[in-house]
Structure 1
Amino acid sequence: MQKILAYCVLVVLLVLQSFAAQAEEAAVPEVSLKTMVGQMVMAGFRGEGATSAHVLLRDIKQHKIGGVILFEKDALRPQAVRNIVSKEQVHDLVTILQDCSETPLLVAIDQEGGKVCRFKPVHGFAGTPSAQKLGKNPVSEAFSAGEQTGAFLHQVGINLNFAPVLDVNINPESPVIGAVERSFSDDPAKVAMYGHAFAQGMARHGVIAGYKHFPGHGSALTDSHKGLPDVTETWSTRELVPFIELLDKEPAHVIMVGHLYNRSLDTDCPTSLSYAVVTELLRTQLKYNGVVVTDDLQMDAIMNEYSIEEAAVKAVQAGCDILLVGNNMEYDPDVVCKIVTAVTWAVHNGDVTLERIEESYNRIKQLKRNAGLLVENVVMH
């Protein structure tokens, strides 16, 4: 009789454990394709407050986008305010956006220092020297510039800065790099050292670094905002050195891929849309496991050849995780919907695998977790 009772008790315990396991599994909701694709989009927008930024608020709610990028100026309306008026206003704007989102947003900006800065003294930030000027001083000054930048960005709620530039100053007359003092040096090792110091300074305040522009923009003779630079004859593998030095090393960072044409790497596609560059070179050969961001897909380097839908799908196929659309050089209130729809249909049509989407979603989620943005419940046993 005792054996029978013990057996019955054991059966009951096993059944209860089974129910508990099923309940625990049910408590973890399955992530929809729509949510995963939405997390892969980072969008620019018009508006400095809840009312004027209503299009973006719609996209956050409907398409569950994973990130936003702020600009000071509206490229199509030079006299109009874009997103930045003051320190307090930006803080309030970012708070509204985060409150609207189910998942914490990556809030990005380009605050390199020198000429490339969205926050200026009029907005409450004194600014920092250009990379070129920093490169002529002790490396400690690059750290200090990063720390000053990170402190200010943290105060207003920005958690990702697309800086530092890791391009090597191969061509001092390059209109988009050398001529505007965006490179630390013509020495790849020095670029890596100073870039790392700047990133470490920002990390003191929890700001993620955005290393750019892979695989190297410093030898370009033209500006990718105005067309697709061909660096086939000017690029060399030494331009990879700063990236190789810093890939997958602390502090937290993403890699931005530039819009370049380089026949030595891919004879058909721009580097930002190239499987050979993003997956075969960056991920397989250089073993980078973190988040890859495209440069702005609305730049003329891309828009002259592709529709936004084509560009988005090709970027995903290449291995990019975040599709950046500034919505500034052009303005389309439906651009987020177009990107999300195109990528979603590409999955349904078999042009992009579900596994490819899951890879990007998991990388983005891990980045947010590592940066302290995503705090998930821990099940205690």
Structure 2
Amino acid sequence: MKRIVSIFLVLCLCITMCGCSIQKKNGASGSTENALDEEEVLKQAGKILKKMTLDEKIGQMILVDLDELSEDGKPVTKLTKKIKEKIEKNHIGGVLLGNSNVKSVEQIKKLTQDLQSIEGITLYIGTEEEGGGTRSIAVNNKEIDGTGYVSPADMGKNMSEDQLEDTGVMIAKELKDLGFNFNLAPCADVWKMENISKVSSEQIRNLAMQEVGPAPAEPKIKKKMSKKKAKKLKRKYEKEHASYEKKVQAYIDRYTVDDANQSCFSSDEDVVSTAAGAMITGMKSQGMATAVKTFPGTAPVAKYHQLVPCQITTGLSKLRRENFSTFSAAIDAGTNMMMAGHVWLTKIDKDFPASLSSTILSDVVRKELGFEGVLFTEALNVPVITSQYSAEEAELKAVIAGADMLYNPVNVEEAVFHVSRAVMFDDIDEKQVDQAVLRILQDKIQQGIYHK
């Protein structure tokens, strides 16, 4: 695989040096080979849905990082009995793995095989493989570095549409060989730093201090205190203060995204549309489900958007032209899924982030853009959400707004209970849950992820 990718990259470079740029290709199709008849898929999904309990349905609406199920907080590299029980008990719909979960080809194949063998409806087993960058599963493993050579930013500059589609094909083939069935890629965000709210470092630090706790108090040195004792107290304080500052910075670093620009194909929406569509077409031709991210285009505010509310103040007409058009291209290419981000579009809904906004998810994504696939939230356990809503509030708002899946709820078991209780008390219509689960089942059947 490495040899093939290396040859391919050399060819890309040669063509690039001859003045190659992305050009539209006619007749691109996002459909997979041997696609099942839509009516048959709907019929199968409907039969499965009728036999499911309410908790089983809601469990399918949960997507979680595998490490969130860890028993000791360490990266999960094998399926333990307790993790297996958590997945089965809560009927979880999908798990995402990152580079921390990958130690070797043999190890990851064993892990994905074990996950696929769990009883119940087959899991989405995904990863975030863009083709390169820090999130690539190949970043720490030379055995599978065939997927991790080129970042989307470089692809957008140097690859033609044909080359991007071929890259999608190769990524999908390698991921499928490792046991994955969906990819959290590509990114359809346009890299433009305009019409965005400013975030102060003081605002970020205050939030981190609220989470870490109060800073250690500076000792009061009394006049009668001996120099030795005063020096000892001062040293103790300096040590405690240094430790505290490390904790504050670690908290900020955990939720800071420094490389969002590398996930973006371009600052030109036409280039992004063509590139995203080509990558999706390539991946789907190999039966790999794709999840385009992060609607409505969070990259320009990505650095701190998981920590504090970040706003995009662009007007609606410009949003349609620059932000929404790239996601429309992804929809036209047949993307299976879409992630909605925690960013405020103030000209559409100033009260809620896109991930929790019915105006954006239902009116814009479903009705205006016509997306019929699986729609899921960005992670719900990040500070920008947990500092403003209780876990239950965020989960219910997301479902009511139109999300089909909840990504990383604060507590999986409690999330299932919260949504189930809301249905029983008529705060959420069970028909809405059924519609969400039907979309998930249809996609799993159509992609060959779930076989009856």
The two structures have a TM-score, normalised by structure 1, of 0.81
Task: Give the C-alpha shift of residue 136 in structure 1.
Answer: 0.9
Task: Give the C-alpha shift of residue 154 in structure 1.
Answer: 0.4
Closer, same or farther: CA 293–29 of 1 in aligned 2, 3 Å: closer
User: Cα deviations across residues 326-364 of structure 1 (Å, max 9, x unaligned)?
Assistant: x8xxxx7xx110110111111111111000100000000
Q: Which structure is higher in RCO with an 8 Å CA cutoff and minimum separation 6?
A: 2
Q: Could you tell me how far apart the structure 2 residues matched to 1:233 and 1:98 are?
A: 43
Amino acid of the structure 2 residue aligned with 1:124: E
**1:107 aligns to what SS in structure 2?**
strand
Which residue does 2:330 correspond to in 1?
246
**1:152 aligns to what SS in structure 2?**
helix
Which residue does 2:419 correspond to in 1?
343
Amino acid of the structure 2 residue aligned with 1:85: K
User: Cα deviations across residues 292-315 of structure 1 (Å, max 9, x unaligned)?
Assistant: 011111122212212222211111
Which residue does 1:109 correspond to in 2?
127
Amino acid of the structure 2 residue aligned with 1:132: A
**1:219 aligns to what SS in structure 2?**
helix
What RMSD in Å do the two structures reach over aligned CA positions?
Answer: 2.5
Q: Could you tell me how far apart the structure 1 residues matched to 2:49 and 2:323 are?
A: 44
Structure 2: unaligned runs, 5 residues or longer: 1-45, 71-75, 197-255
Amino acid of the structure 2 residue aligned with 1:192: S
Task: Give the C-alpha shift of residue 216 in structure 1.
Answer: 1.6
Task: Give the C-alpha shift of residue 375 in structure 1.
Answer: 2.4
Q: Is the 8 A contact 2:292 2:335 kept in 1?
A: no
Task: Give the C-alpha shift of residue 27 in structure 1.
Answer: 11
Identity, in percent, stands at 27
Amino acid of the structure 1 residue aligned with 2:104: S
Q: Is the 8 A contact 2:337 2:376 kept in 1?
A: yes
Mean Cα deviation higher: 178-187 or 305-314: 178-187
Q: Could you tell me how far apart the structure 2 residues matched to 1:164 and 1:34 are?
A: 31
Task: Give the C-alpha shift of residue 120 in structure 1.
Answer: 2.4
Q: Could you tell me how far apart the structure 1 residues matched to 2:325 and 2:137 are?
A: 28
Mapping for residues 64-103 of structure 1, pairs under 5 Å: 64-73=91-100, 83-103=101-121
Aligned residues, how many? 333
Q: Is the 8 A contact 1:184 1:194 kept in 2?
A: yes
Amino acid of the structure 2 residue aligned with 1:354: E
Amino acid of the structure 1 residue aligned with 2:328: I
Amino acid of the structure 2 residue aligned with 1:157: G
Task: Give the C-alpha shift of residue 145 in structure 1.
Answer: 2.4
Match of 1:132 among 153, 159, 164: 153
Which residue does 2:267 correspond to in 1?
186
User: Cα deviations across residues 5-42 of structure 1 (Å, max 9, x unaligned)?
Assistant: xxxxxxxxxxxxxxxxxxxx999962211111000001
Task: Give the C-alpha shift of residue 114 in structure 1.
Answer: 2.2
**1:211 aligns to what SS in structure 2?**
strand
The two structures have a TM-score, normalised by structure 2, of 0.69
Structure with higher helix content: 2
**1:150 aligns to what SS in structure 2?**
helix
**2:349 aligns to what SS in structure 1?**
coil
Task: Give the C-alpha shift of residue 239 in structure 1.
Answer: 0.8
Task: Give the C-alpha shift of residue 254 in structure 1.
Answer: 0.5
User: Cα deviations across residues 263-296 of structure 1 (Å, max 9, x unaligned)?
Assistant: 2121211110010010011112222111101111
Which residue does 1:270 correspond to in 2?
353
Q: Is the 8 A contact 1:275 1:317 kept in 2?
A: yes
Q: Does 1:227 align with 2:333?
A: no
Closer, same or farther: CA 311–144 of 1 in aligned 2, 3 Å: same
User: Cα deviations across residues 105-124 of structure 1 (Å, max 9, x unaligned)?
Assistant: 10111111223313325252
Q: Could you tell me how far apart the structure 2 residues matched to 1:266 and 1:30 are?
A: 38
